[in-house]
């Protein structure tokens, strides 16, 4: 069952509708790790970079032609299908005709400070490397966001998503959600060659 409060963990894509619940600012479909795809992506990302930013229709995502240079095999096709599935899922859930999609590898920390996004709802899925970190509302000092102060309250636990989690993060621009955006940050990436592969989707 989903957890009560401002965050919700669910075990089916249909249950992501929890993001519409008043007060909920984070909904995570904990779908589990696809071991075969995870191993393939980790290997591929050691040798290839991806930095793709595109605007697409929600019902017709096709990134195959944009991911040149990656090995084309059954795992590549499975990954493309997963990307298409997540785009359709997000578009259907949010009623979005056009999507802003970013798919990229990171070898350094991108947004290491806790922050909120000025968007409606953003989908994040980490395919390789450490996943996004977040704070429960009760542990957030919101007055410190964007300033030099400490955002987490003293002793606050920093929680982390898992690889292949499908996370919907409600931002400050969602109607009625000002002051309640999901507080999150990029995780630290190991300096000894660590890398992340992250998918981000927004409604346009």
Domain with residue 189: its CATH number is: 2.60.120
Task: Domain count for the chain, please give it.
Answer: 1
Across the beta sheet with 166-170, what order do the strands follow? 7-10, 26-29, 166-170, 121-128, 196-203, 98-106, 51-57
pLDDT of residue 125: 98
Short-list 183, 127, 193, 174, CA closest to 7: 183
Q: Which domain holds residue 166?
A: 7-203
* Cα separation, 35 vs 105, whole angstroms: 19
Whether residue 2 is contained in a domain is answered as: no
Whether residue 167 is contained in a domain is answered as: yes
Whether residue 191 is contained in a domain is answered as: yes
Whether residue 1 is contained in a domain is answered as: no
Ranges of H-type helices in 25-138: 35-45, 74-94
pLDDT of residue 3: 43
Whether residue 98 is contained in a domain is answered as: yes
Whether residue 14 is contained in a domain is answered as: yes
Confidence at 66, pLDDT banded by 50, 70, 90:
confident
Look up the pTM and report it. 0.93
pLDDT of residue 69: 85
**Greater pLDDT, 103 or 193:** 103
Could you tell me if 27 and 19 are in contact, meaning their C-beta atoms sit under 8 angstroms apart? yes
* Cα separation, 52 vs 67, whole angstroms: 8
Whether residue 197 is contained in a domain is answered as: yes
């Amino acid at each position: 069952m989903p957890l009560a409060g401002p965050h919700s963990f669910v075990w089916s894509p249909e249950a992501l509708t929890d993001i519409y619940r008043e007060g909920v600012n984070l909904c995570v479909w904990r779908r589990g790790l696809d071991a075969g795809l995870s191993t393939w992506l980790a290997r591929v990302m050691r040798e290839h970079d991806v930095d793709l930013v595109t605007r697409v229709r929600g019902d017709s995502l096709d990134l195959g032609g944009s991911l040149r240079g990656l090995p084309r095999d059954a795992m590549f096709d499975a990954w493309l299908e997963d990307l298409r599935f997540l785009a359709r899922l997000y578009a259907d859930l949010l009623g979005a005709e056009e999507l802003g999609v970013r798919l990229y590898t990171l070898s350094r920390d991108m947004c290491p400070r806790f922050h909120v996004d000025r968007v409606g709802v953003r989908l994040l899925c980490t395919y390789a490397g450490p996943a996004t970190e977040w704070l429960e509302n009760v542990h957030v000092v919101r007055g410190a966001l964007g300033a030099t102060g400490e955002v987490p309250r003293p002793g606050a636990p920093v929680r982390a998503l898992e690889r292949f989690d499908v996370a919907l993060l409600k931002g400050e621009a969602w109607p009625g959600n000002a002051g309640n955006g999901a507080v999150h940050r990029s995780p630290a990436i190991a300096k000894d060659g660590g890398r992340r592969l992250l998918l981000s989707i927004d409604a346009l």
